[in-house]
Amino acid sequence: MLQVKSVTVHYGKALAVDSVSLEVDEGEFVAVIGPNGAGKTTLFKTISSVIRPTSGEILFEGVRISDLPPHEVARLGIAHCPERRRLGYRMSVMENLELGAYLRKDRAGIEEDLKFVFEMFPVLKERKNQKAGTLSGGEQQMLAIARALMADPKLLMMDEPSVGLAPLMKERIFEAIEEIKKERSVTILISEQDASLVLPMSDRAYVMETGRMKIEGRGRELMENDYVKVTYLGL
């Protein structure tokens, strides 16, 4: 479904992603783990076409997306839940969700998805007329995920959905992600620093360090990998 082919990305002269390749098949749950500054966010933004790669190409369902503008990538069915939420903070919860469904015309489907996200995150329903900027960090993260779901995407990318949250809230978010995985027929690409949270539910995972893919394997396998154990699972 998604093929990232030896993609290199620079910020000015600085190298951020170095000849990275990655594949996600339809229906998979794929994780990218790695420490601060590994290039996870840069990779995700490049897939969304917010950043242009210096070399390499990205294909989605066979279409080359690496030179399309971001809104056309979105139209093909990729939703990106960005790092640190990035909501419309001066807009209401409801307006943020509406913007999530910006490209959709199927009213019935939108209603159904709204019901789904409100059932998953009841607090959003309670606060639907409140400005997103007044929500707590955890609630904002829920809204960011809900907004991405409202696009009814084929591929859902979530960039560090648990970053900066208290442990309990982290768990709550990952329960929701588990539920999305079970209930929705959506392919998921997720980045996370906390490998112990994400590896158990991943079909496959990549370990990214200083702009490169270091290890790739099945989620369970990686949990047994000595390097991963020592570096990421603290065992």
Partner 1 sequence: MIETLLSLTVNGVLIGGLYALAALGLTIVLGVMRVINVSHGAFYMLGAYFTFLFSIMLGFNYLTSFILSAALVFAIGVVYERLLIKPIRKEELNVLILTFAAAFVIEEIVKFAFGPRYRNIPPYLSGTVNIPGGSVDVQRVLSFAIAIAIVALLFAVLRFTKIGKAMRMVAEDEEVAGILGINVEKVQMFSFGFGAMLAASAAALLSPIYLLYPSMGWDPLLKAFAIVIFGGMGSIPGTVLTGIIFGVAEVLTGYYISPTWKTVVPFILLILIISVKPTGLFGEEE
The binder of ligand ATP chosen from 20, 73, 83, 142 (CB under 6 A): 83
Contact (CB, 8 A) for 219 and 199: yes
- Report residue 65: phi and psi, to 5°: -105, -5
The binder of partner 1 chosen from 86, 115, 218, 220 (CB under 8 A): 86
Question: Shortest approach of ligand ATP to residue 39 CB, angstroms?
Answer: 4
The binder of partner 1 chosen from 90, 105, 107, 182 (CB under 8 A): 90
Q: How many residues does the chain have?
A: 235
Q: Does 40 bind ligand ATP (CB under 6 A)?
A: yes
């329903």: which residue's tokens? 125
Q: Does 187 bind partner 1 (CB under 8 A)?
A: no
Q: Which is nearer to partner 1, 107 or 182 (CB)?
A: 107
Q: Does 48 bind partner 1 (CB under 8 A)?
A: yes
């960039």: which residue's tokens? 159
Q: Which is nearer to partner 1, 111 or 171 (CB)?
A: 111
């390749």: which residue's tokens? 21
- Round to whole Å and give the CA distance between 133 and 166: 19
Q: Which stretch binds ligand ATP (CB under 6 A): 39-47, 95-103, 116-124, 146-154?
A: 39-47
Question: Shortest approach of ligand ATP to residue 32 CB, angstroms?
Answer: 8
Question: Shortest approach of Mg ion to residue 40 CB, angstroms?
Answer: 5
Q: Which amino acid is at 91?
A: M
CA triple 136-128-110, angle to 5 deg = 120
Strand-pair partners of 207:
33, 215
Would you call 81 exposed, middle or buried from its count of C-beta atoms within 10 A (0-12, 13-18, 19+)?
Answer: buried
Provide the 8-state DSSP code for 76: T
What residues line the site for partner 1 (CB under 8 A)? 45, 48-50, 69-71, 74-75, 79-80, 82, 86, 88-91, 95, 98-100, 102-103, 147, 151
What residues line the site for ligand ATP (CB under 6 A)? 11, 14, 16, 34, 36-42, 83, 160, 193
What residues line the site for Mg ion (CB under 5 A)? 40-41, 83
